[in-house]
Every structure is written in structure tokens, then in C-alpha cells.
Amino acid sequence: MSDSKLQVVPLGGLGEFGMNCLALRYGDDIIVIDAGMMFPDAELLGVDIVVPDFTYLEDNKEHVRALILTHGHEDHIGGVPFLLSLLQIPVYATAFTLALVERRLEEHDLDHEPDLREIKANDRLEIGPFLIEFIHVTHSVVSCVALAIATPLGVVLHTGDFKVDPTPLDNQPFDLHRFADYGKQGVLLLLSDSTNVDRPGYTESERAVRPRFEECFHRAEGRLVISCFSSSIPRLQQIFDLAAEYGRKVALLGRSMLTATELAHSLHLLEIPDSILLRPQDIMQTPANKVCVIISGTQGEPMSALSRVAVDNHKHLSIREKDVVVLSARMIPGNEKAIYRLINHLARRGADVVYGGMNPPVHVSGHGSVEELKLILSLVRPKYFVPIHGEYRQLFRHAALAQSLSYTGIRECFVLESGETLEIDRFGARKGERVTVGRVCIDSGSVDEVVEDIVIRDRRHLSEDGFVLPIIAINKHTGKSETLPEIVSRGFVSLEDSAELMQEARQVVARTLENSSPEERTDWGVMQEKIRADLKRFLSKQTSRRPLIMPVILEV
């Protein structure tokens, strides 16, 4: 038998929210599961998206056999263009997931044709030493799979994102039987979604939003405007069905909403009732109580369709009194203020805004709660367990939950964060060497526009107290400064207040120049540092602020 070991190498999404990416290595073969992105923290100023640092995969380029995607959410596929710009590998996913990936790839210039290969639930696929079976799971998007990966050492089961929805809208339930089969045969390692480990009980079925939606369709005297994630195809289906029932036409606003419905429709995953669609330009010409608008922008993203509607700056929709606006999504942490601002604007325009927690719910999660996590642990009863998809607090709690289920016979749980690896061989499992991981910040969606840490650090400094630049013109013949130094500043103090202060600051710089020895003056690096230090002390004393100070010396 082989003496090779199995390595689990999380490159993103463990100990952080988003940009899920995990490599499995056995001997000389590596497969990659998911390649997601995350939306940046507010502290990453000016950064648009963040993807994992793929150095580990680049360094092992010749061993990487394939990328396998569990489903089509951005935190699982948003990094695909960046990964494919580094590695030419085949990408396996269900038809809907691949279609979303293709759209993303169209926005980027890859120098090679992507090799996209469709798989279906129940398919089996052999890649080197790995025999992968795709298992249907339920989640908030359609066509999601878990992966059962047979290796020479045993089976690794990766759940992807899931909830156990007993009544999914497409009547394709979570394939609990395959999970049970694998549990019976014995599973070496379970990797399971930790997103909702903080939530007690069961997550409600997608169908649970229907009563609230019905109530909104019933109640809205004006237009009914519903915002949800564009990839939530089952939710869109429910809205289309109710619109047909209540005699409202449906208009779609927002590019992502159009794309997702087109893709899902063309793949027969979304049924659009006959002649129900309304062109956006006809919204305001149609009787308000005959209109339902599905619109993107649940997170208050500033350029989204809903944000523009909220400030009455959308060419096709203007909110009036008696309109009902429904936010059918959770608030992603960090977005609360933007979302509340959006709601305030809509309320000011007279809309009745339906949002937040209520019973029956206006939104249900796509991730399983504690009882579903226990169900999976109980069915699979693996030898080893690694919680995935979550911040540290969530992984930690998921591991504790698994440990508390003593009847499952789980031998050991490992809380890994991105970059920490797990090694399994015939002697057991243990943490292995760390690999390089990190966050690569992208300014505007193009592969080239990686923002360096130093630039972000400067931006943060600038954002707090602005900058002050003393500019000293030096006569290159005499080596002397013949005029008083100039000082320019922005974001520091307002101009009215600063005239006197800046005048004094010029004197401070001039004094620093005068009081320097001839030796010092020949080294402009030293002079810059002296000027910076003196000016910093002066400004900090006068204003208690610490602007970025950057002396500029011009030879003229």
C-alpha cells in the first residue's frame, strides 16, 4: 500500500468570512475545491474585492489537476478568474454554476480558453488518486453539490454550503441517503459548513417565505418591489408564481438580476409564466397594483438598482406612496448602516418597507442550523472532523458541537484556519506545516489591479488626518534654499483655520534647515527625516493630529 499522506490545505474561508478555497493533496496530485472572493472590510479603503493568495497553488502548479466548484455563490466562485489567470486547469461544476462562472470570466481577459466541464449530481469522476462523487444538497441557490472524495486512505466528505430543506421548491431534496451510505461505509474526514452554528433549531424551508410574500402581494395597494439575491432562484420562482396568481406583471431591475434569471431560465431551472414579463420602461405606465418589480441591491450597495431607486435616481422606477418594498435577504455584517440608510430613503418616499426578523419570515437562511449540523455529523460519523466556512468563533463552536456528540465516535476534531494544514496518513491525523495564504486586494475587478498593503496603509493614514507636504526648493548650484519652504495640505485642517498654522509650520521647516550642520545638509535623506520629525512634533502639539508628512525637496 501507499505510504503517501493526504493533506488538507485551506487557502481561504476558514477563520474568515468568504473567499472559500481548499486544496486536497495526495502524493503528487492536488485538487482544489471552490475559489471564492470576499467583499472587503471598510478598513480596506478603496478596495473592491478580495481573493485568496494562490501562491501555494502556483508553487505546485504541475501538481494541480482540477478545480471543483460546489455551487455558484460569489464566495465560492468569485476568485475563479484570478485562479485561472495563474493556472490552466479544468473546472468541474453543475451547469448553472458553470454558467455563472462563464459570465464572470467574460469580464476578464484570460490568455487561454477556459476548460469548463459540466457534472451532475450522482456523477463520479476520477482525477488521479481521487474518485469524486457529486451528491445533491439543498441551499439557497440551485444545483448545489457536496463531494464524496475517495482517496487511498479513505473517504473525505465535503458538504459545500447546505441546509437540509425537507420541502425544496424544485422537489429535489437533500440526498440524505448517500450521506447515510457513506456513513455506513466509513468516512475518514468530514468537512462541514459552519455558517449557522450559532443558530439553534432547524433553518426553515425555502417555502416558509411564501405566507409573508402572499401577505405582501395581498396588501400592496401600489407597486410591490421585492429585492433578494439574484442567485436565489427558488425565491425568484416563488415571486413569479405569486405574481401570476395575483395578476401582477413582473419587471426585473439590475444587471445581476437579469443575468441570473436568463441563465436559470435557459437551463430550465426557473419557470417564467407566459407573458408575465414587463419591460422596465413600461413600469410607470402600468397600473401600480398590477406591477411587481424584482430588483437587486439588498445590501445597500451604492450603485445597485435599489439604492438608485431609493434616492429616486432610477430611470424606470419611482417609489410612490402605497408602494410596498420587501427586503428578502439577511443583512451581511458590516452592511447594516448602508441598508438602514436605504430603508430610510424608501420610507421618506412613502414606501411601506418590509424587512428584518418577523413571523412568518420574509427571508430564510440557506445554511443549516445546529440541529441540521448535528444530523450531518450523526449520519456521516467520520473519524476526523474539520469545520469549514466560518470565522474562528464559528469553527470553534462547530468543533465543540461535534465533540459533544460522543455516540458518533468521532476520534478527533481540528480547528484549522486558512493556511493551517492537516496531514492524514495510516498512523493518524495531525496539523502539518503552514502554507502561504493571504488576501489579495483588487481595486476594480481587473486581474492586474492588485493593491499592495503599503498603499492601503497609506490610504488609511490619509483617511484619518490627511497629509502635509513641506516643499523645499534648493538651488542646485549653491545647495541652498533661497525661499521660505512651501507647505501644502489636504484633509488635515480646513483652509480658513490653517493659514496661521501653516505660516508657523513654514518657519519650523526653515529653522530645521538653518539649524542643520553642513554635513547633514549634504544628505537629503537625513534632512527629510529631520524635517518630518520636527514638523510632526509641531503639528501634533498644535492640533493633536498626525497627518502623513512627506517632505519634498526640489533641485531647481
**What amino acid positions are annotated as catalytic residues?**
193, 367
* 405 vs 471, beta carbon nearer a second copy: 471
- What DSSP element (H or E) covers 74? helix 74-77
**Is there binding between residue 469 and a second copy (CB under 8 A)?**
yes
**Is there binding between residue 320 and a second copy (CB under 8 A)?**
no
Q: Cα(366)–Cα(205) distance, rounded to whole angstroms?
A: 9
Q: Give CA 341 to chain center in angstroms.
A: 22
Give the bridge partners for 163, in sequence order.
138
Subset of residues 364 to 403 that bind a second copy, contact rule: CB under 8 A: 391-393, 396-397
Of 7, 70, 6, 85, nearest to 34 (Cα)?
70
* 219 vs 490, beta carbon nearer a second copy: 490
Exactly one of 41, 109, 271, 312 binds a second copy (CB under 8 A); which one? 41
**Is there binding between residue 285 and a second copy (CB under 8 A)?**
no
At closest approach, how far in Å is the CB of 45 from a second copy?
Answer: 4
Sort 468 into a burial class: Cβ within 10 Å, 0-12 / 13-18 / 19+: buried
Site pattern 165..204 for a second copy (x: CB under 8 A): ---------------------------------x-x----
Of 133, 180, 127, 184, nearest to 158 (Cα)?
133
At closest approach, how far in Å is the CB of 15 from a second copy?
Answer: 7
* 190 vs 327, beta carbon nearer a second copy: 327
Exactly one of 95, 176, 288, 347 binds a second copy (CB under 8 A); which one? 347
* 158 vs 389, beta carbon nearer a second copy: 389
If binding means CB under 8 A, how many residues of this protein chain bind a second copy? 68
Exactly one of 462, 506, 526, 528 binds a second copy (CB under 8 A); which one? 462
Q: Cα(354)–Cα(216) distance, rounded to whole angstroms?
A: 9
Which cell goes with 499? 493659514
**Can the peptide bond before residue 360 be classed as cis, meaning omega within 30 degrees of 0?**
yes
Q: Cα(504)–Cα(510) distance, rounded to whole angstroms?
A: 10
**Is there binding between residue 312 and a second copy (CB under 8 A)?**
no
Buried/exposed 146-185: b ≥16 CB within 10 Å, e otherwise: bbbbbbebbbbbbbbbbbbbeebbeeeebbbebbeebbee
Give the bridge partners for 127, in sequence order.
130
CB 189 within 8 A of CB 158: no
**Is there binding between residue 544 and a second copy (CB under 8 A)?**
yes
**Is there binding between residue 444 and a second copy (CB under 8 A)?**
yes
**Is there binding between residue 358 and a second copy (CB under 8 A)?**
yes
At closest approach, how far in Å is the CB of 453 from a second copy?
Answer: 9
Max Cα-Cα span within the chain: 88
Site pattern 9..28 for a second copy (x: CB under 8 A): ------x-------------
What is the contact surface with a second copy in residues (CB under 8 A)?
A: 15, 41-42, 45-46, 198, 200, 333-334, 336-337, 340, 343-344, 346-348, 353, 356, 358, 391-393, 396-397, 443-444, 446, 449, 451-452, 454-456, 458-467, 469, 471, 473, 475, 482-483, 486, 488, 490-495, 497, 543-545, 548, 550, 552, 554-556
